[in-house]
Structure 1
């Protein structure tokens, strides 16, 4: 459980009124990554998108962190905003943090939407995470995101050079490189799969059919492990499925929230 002494220092986008929904972005991104979904949901709900440490407007990570540390940050934000319980939508690293939250404080999470994420890092993945973190510190975030971009978006989006790709690159380029490396170190220790059968909340798992970063096998493993989880594959979408196919992604999200009463 979260220590009472833990205070939230994260930058937060907080819009709309009604039942709250929390949004957790992927590594290197920030709350603005969720803009297509926030614009739709804020007319009927209170939408809260949180910048992880060292991302967006949040202060940098000062030392090593675990996924539980990031989860505690989110729980602290909830407490500061007077939110006792809410559904959590997480993409990539955000999904890992959402699962960690739900396992650590199940009474605070009423539902999970886990997009393009994973629950276990094998040895190769862990080694790659650590190498990528070191490269980001050495060469900078602009070089890092330009190298990552072909792995993150659908082939059609890249071929058409859709505007949101440049917007995404500009967002990631502002991320603190050390904090990015710290977050990759946390992901390298990812080991949640065996604990997922303990989750007891409605869960929707989404994945882009062209996700090269965390291919559908990762989402399939999560959906198989979480009791009653629903898996939906989004066509013509890469790792950033909420940007490649925002309408389809949001339709799945709205349907899930309505159907589960969240």
Structure 2
């Protein structure tokens, strides 16, 4: 375990294993421990780093409000503290926004970014319309049904309960994350950075449709698309083997 200083804010992280670095950045209901199904299988092959953004897990949560624009700096602080280079940043949902912006801030430390179930806050008018339409459909569902399939909930009640419990360790909630999508990078900025980007998505994601992700891939030159059949929004939790296999393919291709 370690603590990095992000402009005066203490950011908790853990480092496991050895080898090429893979850094996991959680979503709005997660924290470092949410990656338990990734750390154990991957630490024999990679240096696996898990990060708690401010307001989450063991990181400083004392601030009165949370600004999503601070999250990329939290990731950069960990990259700097551990002196990582060529790291693959894996951001889940809102964590993908932080991961992409961190990569653009410190491209010399990053070998690639995986935008898992997210477009990473890329600023593009057509994508904004598609994302808004997806969200309008998603909000009609109960929150849990947006994140996990009904089949998984029925067959894995214990893991479903644990998934719900993960968010209770966080002070910051989705409604608190001000400016999360404000001032996102444009496509030209992402391309000019030279940082490889991969969209990792589930075909059955109820929050962000496969069609929207495919369109983002088409619009971002040089990007990669990993579209997993049958996978929901929280693939890392519900179908970890599929998620991990995709991460391994992407990480190995960067070598």
Q: TM-score range by the shorter chain?
A: 0.7 to 0.9
Contact 1:67 1:100 in 2 (8 A): no
Name the counterpart of 1:11.
Answer: 12
CA shift for structure 1 position 216? 2.1
CA shift for structure 1 position 83? 2.0
Name the counterpart of 2:159.
Answer: 164
Of 174, 182, 194, 1:189 maps to: 182
Name the counterpart of 1:139.
Answer: none
Alpha-carbon distance in 2 for matches of 1:10, 1:256: 27
TM-score, normalising length: structure 1: 0.80
CA shift for structure 1 position 173? 2.0
* Higher share in helix: 1
Contact 2:93 2:117 in 1 (8 A): yes
Alpha-carbon distance in 2 for matches of 1:73, 1:87: 16
Deviations 1:193-231 (CA, angstroms, capped at 9, x unpaired): 444333423332111111111222442243223332111
Alpha-carbon distance in 1 for matches of 2:158, 2:49: 24
- Cα 1:64–1:104 change in 2 (3 A) is farther
Map 1:62-141 to 2 at 5 A: 62-118=63-119, 119-120=121-122, 122=128, 125=132
Contact 1:103 1:199 in 2 (8 A): yes
CA shift for structure 1 position 179? 5.1
Of 233, 242, 245, 2:227 maps to: 233
Alpha-carbon distance in 2 for matches of 1:156, 1:190: 38
Deviations 1:141-182 (CA, angstroms, capped at 9, x unpaired): xxxxx9521110123212324432211100112221x55433
Alpha-carbon distance in 2 for matches of 1:255, 1:188: 29
CA shift for structure 1 position 69? 1.5
CA shift for structure 1 position 88? 0.6
Alpha-carbon distance in 1 for matches of 2:113, 2:62: 26
- Cα 1:45–1:242 change in 2 (3 A) is same
Alpha-carbon distance in 1 for matches of 2:19, 2:92: 23
* Higher share in strand: 2
Gaps of 5+ in 2: none
- Cα 1:5–1:103 change in 2 (3 A) is closer
Instruction: Give the paired residue count.
Output: 240
Name the counterpart of 2:196.
Answer: 202
| RMSD, matched Cα | 2.9
Map 1:21-60 to 2 at 5 A: 21-60=22-61
CA shift for structure 1 position 66? 4.4
